[in-house]
Amino acid sequence: MLKTYLLLIASIVFFACNSPKEDQSNHNETEKENVENAPHQNSITEGDQLIHFQNETNLKNIKQLTFGGDNAEAYFSYDNKYLVFQATNPKWQAQCDQIFYMPIDGYEGDQPPLLSTGKGRTTCSYFMPDGKSIIYASTHIGNEECPEVPRVVNGKYVWGIFPDFDIFQADLDGNIIKKLTDSPGYDAEATISPDGKKIVFTSTRSGDLELYVMDIDGSNLVQVTHDLGYDGGAFFSPDSKKLVFRASRPKTDEEIKTYKDLLSQGLVQPTAMELFVCNIDGSDLTQVTSLGGANWGPYFHPSGEKILFCSNHHSKGGRQFNIFSINLDGTGLRQITFDSVFDAFPMFSHDGKKLVFSSNRNNGGTRDTNVFIADWVE
């Protein structure tokens, strides 16, 4: 859902389970102040088509992999040799997000191989365990044209939850092997467990945006979340036993009415989201962040004991998005990236040695978002 995040940036003046611990908000507020008060070095080092902010001490040997257009949600193959990602780039005949893949050191020629059909809009691709196919969501069966992306409704910034989205499996020649979902409404945002046995995704089949887990072949569907609000962008822990995800939780009558009214129109308002973790069956649900703003794009650290995620909580105007890390109990908030506009979509390689992410750095003052890869340093 790259476009929705980028529109969030532009729109902000230019974007019944276990309760969290009672002192959770105090932990987060203290850590938030620490981040906001930390010195931000503006000096940078420039190399061969890369920019590395000096504060980014966890990142080494940063390399830029794409050069123009909107590129994001890049995820590693299980052998750590390839990346699958989505891109909007008219030069690649991708007028709205389509799925491409490339080696981790970048593609050769004018463009990387296209894996989606080139029709409709796609999102959230992920390699299958055998490395011979991928899964992704697409609207092409319902509508082969790029669907209109709404921005503002009644003064509220919104995302489109397109009901034509379904999840497909395709080989590396772009041939669709299987349609994994066949329920009316939105089915998207699918990722696969590290052990290769399960898929988690978001669906409106219950009438709300909830998480579901199914076997790798699409069987044995289980609903994971049940609370009102948008549950999405889920990833498995390294041991495949837990999930981390973003969620909105409307509480007041006005918030609930707004959420339901927008959802009835296939829309959500993503400006207030926090991170949650739970077991893959939905048990032991715990809120991790209480930072305010938009907290999303979470991914487990290789240790399984903390999370990397994207947030604008530290930005007074909400314009700046950076990658942060946080412990599962909500302590230890730490800023990882320092681009002045947009860093997001962190994912570790399966061996924990590399981090891939998307950023507006080194885009020549344009709005291009590109994919970067770096060695991870503890």
- Which CATH number is 116's domain given? 2.120.10.30
Q: How far is CA 348 from the centre of its chain?
A: 13
The total number of structural domains in the chain stands at 1
pLDDT at 104: 98
Those residues of the chain that have pLDDT short of 50 are 2-5, 7-43, 45-49
Each residue of 185-212: pLDDT tens digit? Answer: 999 999 999 999 999 999 999 999 999 9
Q: How far is CA 268 from the centre of its chain?
A: 16
Separation of alpha carbons 345 and 24, rounded Å: 25
pLDDT at 277: 98
Separation of alpha carbons 142 and 164, rounded Å: 5
pLDDT at 50: 59
pLDDT at 84: 98
pLDDT at 260: 97
Query: Roughly how many angstroms between the first and final C-alpha of the chain, as a whole number?
Result: 29
Separation of alpha carbons 268 and 263, rounded Å: 6
The parent domain of residue 200 ranges over: 2-376
- Contact between residue 25 and residue 330 where contact means Cβ atoms under 8 Å apart: no
Q: Kindly give, in sequence order, each residue whose CB lies less than 8 Å from that of residue 215, ignoring residues fewer than 6 positions away.
A: 197, 198, 199
Separation of alpha carbons 273 and 4, rounded Å: 14
